[in-house]
Amino acid sequence: MSLTSDLKRWIADFVSAASDNTAVDAWVAHVLGRIVDGVPEVRQDAALQSVVRDACDAHWRSFLANLGQPEQTFHLVQEARQVPLVVAQHGYPLPILFQIYTAGEQAVWEFITAAVKEGSPTGVSEADALVHFWTRSSTWFDRSVEMSVALFQEELERIRQGDAARRLEVVRAVLAGTLVDPREISAGLGGHPVSAFQTALLLHTDDDARIADLPQAAQALTASLGLRQPLVVHPGGRDLWAWISSAEAPDLTLLGTCSDWLRERRMVAMVGAAAPGVDGFRSSHTEALATQRLCLGAERQVPVTFFTDVELLTLVGDGEATRRYIHRTLGRLAATDEQAARLRMTLRALLSTGSVDAAARHLSVHKNTVRYRVERAEELMGRRIAEESTEIDVALRCHEMFIAAPGAPLRSSAARD
């Protein structure tokens, strides 16, 4: 909108009168009063109220200086830059920032409307004066909000990164045994109740695009236990460490309900055994790490692996020595064909159930079929299961973890081998 000479003259007179320190103080008191009335957080937080007052003063002086210029220019005054920073630093959500600017904008419009009506500019219509003010002030507020939101988000991310770094430092001190006082640990971990039962999770993904989703996975696993707010720290890379706190040892089998969710997102979870207190915090994490070392070296990765299911294998380890042990113990039973897989499955059923009858029921086959398969397996191994049951059981478990080809487990069949 082009300015007439009368409107320019009236704006110049308005700017001169409004820029007087006494007038500015009155304007700031009016706008701040509306903000304080409309935003309880500003009313109750003296530090935030102080930076809002300074921002109102600086905003108004800068706006007035620009009001009479032919083209509007904008920069967010330094005092106003402090408002989103303090809002973030004091833990207030983003809507508080919007509420501050909304209340301020309403107060400004009331002030300008009253000033135009009372000023009775000669040769200038109230409509033209209000349109000029409204256009300039709307642009000013829009740009202020836009830049303030960006500053808020940057500050929030900086705070989060700082908090995350401090939590990781505390966690590492606890795991190293250099920090042992439960109250000090809980304070350093944002109130995490470390004296309760601790269940450690180690979450991993091979997909870099999914790293940012690992905290959501920790939340989902925790929710499956009917619990809330796990402690999470990011040690770097594609891993996330988490601890679930509970008043008593939880039923960890419920974590298996998240298997499909994790599989869809290309994530795996390793779970330590639940144990109480600071010692449990450390031991459960150590177990989750041991489980991860085992799982990441396996041919098949399942979404959720419990330390208690693979504890023996974590003691054995993997690598060439383990593979030699498997082949030396199982002999030709370590072959990759379907018949060998069926025989291994039968031996695992027999060793886990303790009897031929129980194994037959587990496999849904006749007990004579179990006897036949056991005899055939012993021929291929060149050793008797009754004499070396422990060694054979360990070899079968290691074979399943480190050598068995990926895919669904072989289904039992009553067909003749």
The arithmetic mean of pLDDT across residues 399-411, rounded, is 59
Q: Are 105 and 137 in contact (CB under 8 A)?
A: yes
Residue with tokens 């207030």: 92
Specify the higher pLDDT residue, 150 or 299: 150
- Asked if residue 257 lies in contact with residue 303, where contact means CB atoms within 8 angstroms, the answer is no
Amino acid identity of residue 242, one-letter, is A
Mean pLDDT of 102-108: 89
Q: Over the range 16-40, which residues count as b (16 or more CB within 10 Å of their CB) and which as e?
A: eebeeeeebeebbeebbebbbebbe
Which sequence spans correspond to the domains of the chain? 5-158, 187-314, 320-402
- Which of the pair, 386 or 4, is modelled with greater confidence? 386
More confident of the two residues 353 and 121: 353
Average pLDDT of the chain to the nearest whole number: 87
Q: Distance between terminal CA atoms of the chain?
A: 92
- Per-residue tokens: 24: 């500015």
Q: What is the reported pLDDT for 124?
A: 67
| Pairwise CA distance, residues 185 & 196, whole Å | 13
Helix/strand/coil for 301: coil
Angstrom distance (rounded) from CA 249 to CA 280: 11
pLDDT of residue 299: 63
The residues near 387 (Cβ < 8 Å, ≥ 6 apart) are none
- Average pLDDT (41-62) is 91
Kindly indicate whether the domain formed by 187-314 is annotated with CATH number 3.30.70: yes
What is the predicted pLDDT for the residue at 294? 82
User: Comparing C-alpha atoms, which of 200, 411, 409, 413 is closest to residue 302?
Assistant: 409
Res 296 pLDDT > 80: no
Q: CA 307 to CA 290: how far, in whole Å?
A: 8
Q: Residue range 352-380: average pLDDT?
A: 92
Highest average pLDDT, of 18-32, 158-172, 268-282, 378-392, comes from 268-282
d(CA 91, CA 230): 20
Strand, helix or coil for residue 241: strand
Instruction: Burial-class residue 210 by CB neighbours within 10 Å (0-12, 13-18, 19+).
Output: middle
Q: Which amino acid is at 340?
A: A
Segment 293-316 shows an average pLDDT of 81
User: Which CATH architecture is the domain 320-402 placed in?
Assistant: Orthogonal Bundle (1.10)
Per-residue confidence (pLDDT) for residue 185, from 0 to 100 = 95
**What are 236-240's contacts with CB under 8 Å, separation 24+?**
238/204, 238/205, 238/206, 238/208, 238/211, 239/202, 239/203, 239/204, 239/214, 239/292, 240/201, 240/202, 240/203, 240/204, 240/214, 240/215
Q: Are 163 and 34 in contact (CB under 8 A)?
A: no
